[in-house]
Amino acid sequence: MGNGSPYPEAVSVIPNASARLSPVKSPIADEELMLRYAAGDAAAFEQLYARHRGGLFRYITRQCGDRGAAEELYQDVWSGVIEARKRYRVEARFATWLYTLAHNRLIDWYRKSSRVVWVDFGGDEDEPEIDIAAQRHWQPEVRTESRQLAQAMLELLAALPPQQREAFLLYEEGGLSVEEIAAATGAGIETAKSRLRYAIAKLRLGLQDLT
Amino acid sequence: MSEADMNEKDDGEISRIYAATPRDEPSAAMDEAILASAHNATPDKRAVHANSFHWTRLAGIAATLVIAASLAVLMQDEQPDIAVLAPPSRDAAIAPMAKVPNEALQPAETAQQSMAPGRGDSRTRDRTDRPERNSGPVQSDQQQAQPEASPSRADTTMAAGGAPERRAFPVAPAPASSPASAEPALQSSGVAAAGVAARQYSGATAERSRPQSAESTTRNLADAGASRSIESPQAWLARIEALRKQGRIREADDSFAEFRKRYPDFPLPGPGPSFPNPDR
């Protein structure tokens, strides 16, 4: 509007201007791709898979800690997506639905493998108090090599309680919001928010100790 | 800077460090396995579409070939008839009839003779034999003529016979054992077809230039079997005139009554002693 035109620049009717200013064509939404796949378009699944393969794989791998089991679970999750394509309804973001499937597979795997680490699906009342405000001015990049930090991050992540780690991984890898994390894990929103806050605080604290 | 902003900044730092961790990914073999599973679970629409298109295209080509072959057969069957039935002009189509004047009085008998071997065969042969039969002796036809053969019967049977059959496609041989059965066969099939052909191939311009009554009469003549079994009205009237001159008044009157039944609208040459009052 700064050029005096009565129209917003995004809807300019001048061909050359619109060619210059037109935004990049938005990609097809995950949900649309899933619907297309449910309708028989295998190419839509390929796009969907390419978008989520890395994040889902890292979520499962880092959550279960067993590479072999993670690969099996990963394949199992995608098989669930394929099988559920006919029942798929757009009631939430596809990512939320996908990570809900993965979460459920992980729970099943934990139960089968007797790794009863996170039987408590409640809140995090037992967590020790962390002074988050005291870590505000932490600047790790100044004093520590990034490679070391990344390695330390993975170690700290593995040391987190499973619920907090899951909340963090869903946040980072799945791009889920607090509400979506709550939906995917079956927890309340405040619980999910608390888990995420604790996870981040512990990671920051651990990294601060390294530096 | 508020506390929330500071938290966001710190969270951003954690996210940045986490993003620097190794980006573990599934193996290519696993990717292939999953994608293959996805493909197998879904019918390949493109393949189905291509197959259906291929099938419809083949079906279309086959249908076109069948239709083309059928049309070719039809045209082959019809062209000889047209060639035979189509005289070069309307006069040529009508002229042979004038040479067989008495046949008009005995259409059933003539039909019996021409159709006796069977309708399908006779039709073809009649067309091919027409010049010989038309140029044949008139006397022989007159001798064979049966006076009591009534055109009214022909009208009746024609009305009962229904629509004319297609020409050139003899489906079953017509019963030709009796005059009563041969006559409708003649009028409903061969004669009607000949009439159609005569109308189609006669000079349309000349026809338009004639008076309406003569035109309609000529058309009736053609429809009723112009090829060879019915004489022209002019010839018929000439014969009636000849009968009168010979003193055979009763025969002339009967013949004229017959003539009027057949050609009610045909204009008479003029009021004269030979013809009774048309309003009689």
Looking at the fold, whether A169 and A137 belong to one and the same domain comes out as yes
Using CB atoms, pick whichever of A40, A71, A150 lies closest to residue B43: A40
What are the residues whose beta carbons fall under 8 Å from the beta carbon of B38, sequence distance 6 or more?
A: A37, A42, A45, A46, A49, A78, A82
Instruction: Tell me which of A5-14, A96-105, A164-173 is least confident.
Output: A5-14
Q: Which residues of chain A have a CB within 8 Å of the CB of B49?
A: none
Selection from A123-127, A167-171, B73-77 with the highest mean pLDDT: A167-171
Q: Which residue of chain A has the CA closest to B38?
A: A82
What is the mean pLDDT of the segment spanning A73-99? 91
Q: Which residue has the tokens 């210059």?
A: A20
What are the residues whose beta carbons fall under 8 Å from the beta carbon of A107, sequence distance 6 or more?
A: none
Residues B193/B225, Cβ–Cβ less than 8 Å: no
Which stretches of A6-161 are DSSP H helices? Answer: 15-21, 30-38, 42-64, 67-83, 94-112, 140-143, 146-159
From B40, B35, B41, B31, select the one nearest A84 (Cα to Cα). B41
Q: Which residue has the tokens 């079997």?
A: B225
Q: Does A126 fall in a domain?
A: no
Q: Does B142 fall in a domain?
A: yes
Dihedral (Cα; B110, B116, B121, B124), 10-degree rounding? -10
Q: Does A121 fall in a domain?
A: no
Q: Does B32 fall in a domain?
A: no
Distance separating alpha carbons of residues B263 and B223, to the nearest angstrom: 12
The answer to whether the CB atoms of B11 and A200 lie below 8 A apart is: yes
Q: Which residue of chain A has the CA closest to B22?
A: A150
- pLDDT for B13: 83
Looking at the fold, whether A66 and A140 belong to one and the same domain comes out as no
Tokens of B117: 């071997």
The answer to whether the CB atoms of B39 and A42 lie below 8 A apart is: yes
Q: Which residue of chain A has the CA closest to B46?
A: A41
Domain of A174, CATH number, reads 1.10.10.10
Q: Which residues of chain A have a CB within 8 Å of the CB of B28?
A: none
Residues A157/A198, Cβ–Cβ less than 8 Å: no
Radius of gyration of chain B (CA): 40
Looking at the fold, whether B207 and B248 belong to one and the same domain comes out as yes
Boundary (domain end) residue, out of A56, A78, A112: A112
Distance separating alpha carbons of residues A103 and A163, to the nearest angstrom: 11
What is the mean pLDDT of the segment spanning A13-22? 39
Q: Does B267 fall in a domain?
A: no
**Which residues numbered 22-81 in B keep a CB inside 8 Å of some CB on A?**
22-27, 30-31, 33-35, 37-39, 41-45
Looking at the fold, whether B205 and B232 belong to one and the same domain comes out as yes
The answer to whether the CB atoms of A83 and B41 lie below 8 A apart is: yes
Dihedral (Cα; B49, B50, B52, B58), 10-degree rounding? 160
Looking at the fold, whether A104 and A139 belong to one and the same domain comes out as no
Instruction: Specify whether the backbone of A8 is left (phi greater than 0), alpha (psi in -120 to 50) or beta.
Output: beta
Residues A210/A152, Cβ–Cβ less than 8 Å: yes
Q: Which residue has the tokens 């009469």?
A: B217
Tokens of A168: 């963090």
Domain of A99, CATH number, reads 1.10.1740.10
Distance separating alpha carbons of residues B241 and B245, to the nearest angstrom: 6
The secondary structure of residue B226, as a DSSP letter, is T
Q: Which residue of chain A has the CA closest to B36?
A: A42
Is the pLDDT reported for residue A79 higher than 70?
yes
Looking at the fold, whether A138 and A107 belong to one and the same domain comes out as no
Name which of B3, B7, B40, B42 to mutate to probe chain A: the one with the most chain A Cβ atoms within 10 A of its Cβ: B42
Distance separating alpha carbons of residues A103 and A63, to the nearest angstrom: 10
Q: Does B74 fall in a domain?
A: yes
CA A58, distance to chain mean position in Å, is 10
The answer to whether the CB atoms of B22 and A150 lie below 8 A apart is: yes
The answer to whether the CB atoms of B31 and A53 lie below 8 A apart is: yes
For chain A, give percent helix, strand, coil, nearest 5.
Answer: 70, 0, 30
Distance separating alpha carbons of residues B136 and B154, to the nearest angstrom: 24
Looking at the fold, whether B80 and B179 belong to one and the same domain comes out as no
Using CB atoms, pick whichever of A41, A146, A204 lies closest to residue B10: A204
Looking at the fold, whether B251 and B148 belong to one and the same domain comes out as yes
Number of independent structural domains in chain A: 2
Looking at the fold, whether B226 and B106 belong to one and the same domain comes out as yes
Q: Does B24 fall in a domain?
A: no
Looking at the fold, whether A150 and A202 belong to one and the same domain comes out as yes
Looking at the fold, whether B256 and B138 belong to one and the same domain comes out as yes
Which ipTM score applies to this complex?
A: 0.75
What are the residues whose beta carbons fall under 8 Å from the beta carbon of A43, sequence distance 6 or more?
A: none
Sign (positive/negative) of CA torsion B179, B181, B185, B187?
Answer: positive
- pLDDT for B60: 86
Q: Does A12 fall in a domain?
A: no
Q: Which residues of chain B have a CB within 8 Å of the CB of A55?
A: none
Looking at the fold, whether B60 and B117 belong to one and the same domain comes out as no
From B72, B178, B80, B74, select the one nearest B123 (Cα to Cα). B80
The answer to whether the CB atoms of A75 and B23 lie below 8 A apart is: no
Number of independent structural domains in chain B: 2
Looking at the fold, whether A140 and A203 belong to one and the same domain comes out as yes
Residue B199 is which amino acid? R
Using CB atoms, pick whichever of A40, A78, A168 lies closest to residue B34: A78
Looking at the fold, whether A205 and A175 belong to one and the same domain comes out as yes
Looking at the fold, whether B235 and B199 belong to one and the same domain comes out as yes
Boundary (domain end) residue, out of A77, A112, A147: A112
Q: Does A88 fall in a domain?
A: yes
From B73, B74, B96, B72, select the one nearest B166 (Cα to Cα). B74
A and B: number of Cβ contacts within 8 A: 99
Q: Does A127 fall in a domain?
A: no
The answer to whether the CB atoms of B20 and A149 lie below 8 A apart is: yes
B17 in contact with A at a CB cutoff of 8 Å?
A: yes
Residue B99 is which amino acid? K
Per DSSP, the three-state class of B163 is: coil
Looking at the fold, whether B197 and B149 belong to one and the same domain comes out as yes
Using CB atoms, pick whichever of A42, A53, A147 lies closest to residue B44: A42
Looking at the fold, whether B207 and B247 belong to one and the same domain comes out as yes
- Phi and psi at A174, nearest 5°, equal -85, -15
CA atoms within 13 A on the CB side of B246: 11
Looking at the fold, whether A105 and A48 belong to one and the same domain comes out as yes
Q: Which residue of chain B has the CA closest to A37?
A: B42
The answer to whether the CB atoms of B35 and A83 lie below 8 A apart is: no
Tokens of B111: 């039909």
Q: What is the largest CA-CA distance in chain B?
A: 142
Q: Does B30 fall in a domain?
A: no
Distance separating alpha carbons of residues A74 and A93, to the nearest angstrom: 19
Domain span at B238: 88-167+174-262
Tokens of B169: 């496609």
Q: Smallest CA–CA separation between B78 and chain A, in Å? A: 54
Looking at the fold, whether B81 and B92 belong to one and the same domain comes out as no
Residues A190/A125, Cβ–Cβ less than 8 Å: no
The answer to whether the CB atoms of A54 and B13 lie below 8 A apart is: no
Which segments in chain B show pLDDT lower than 70? 1-10, 44-54, 79-230, 270-280
The answer to whether the CB atoms of A53 and B25 lie below 8 A apart is: yes
Q: Which residue of chain A has the CA closest to B28?
A: A53
Q: Does A15 fall in a domain?
A: no
- pLDDT for A54: 93
Looking at the fold, whether B51 and B64 belong to one and the same domain comes out as yes
Domain span at A57: 30-112
Q: Which residues of chain A have a CB within 8 Å of the CB of B20?
A: 146-147, 149-150, 153
Boundary (domain end) residue, out of A82, A112, A142: A112
Using CB atoms, pick whichever of B21, B30, B41 lies closest to residue A75: B30
Q: Does A1 fall in a domain?
A: no
Q: Which residue has the tokens 């990034």?
A: A146
Q: Does A14 fall in a domain?
A: no
Q: B212 or A53: whose pLDDT is higher?
A: A53
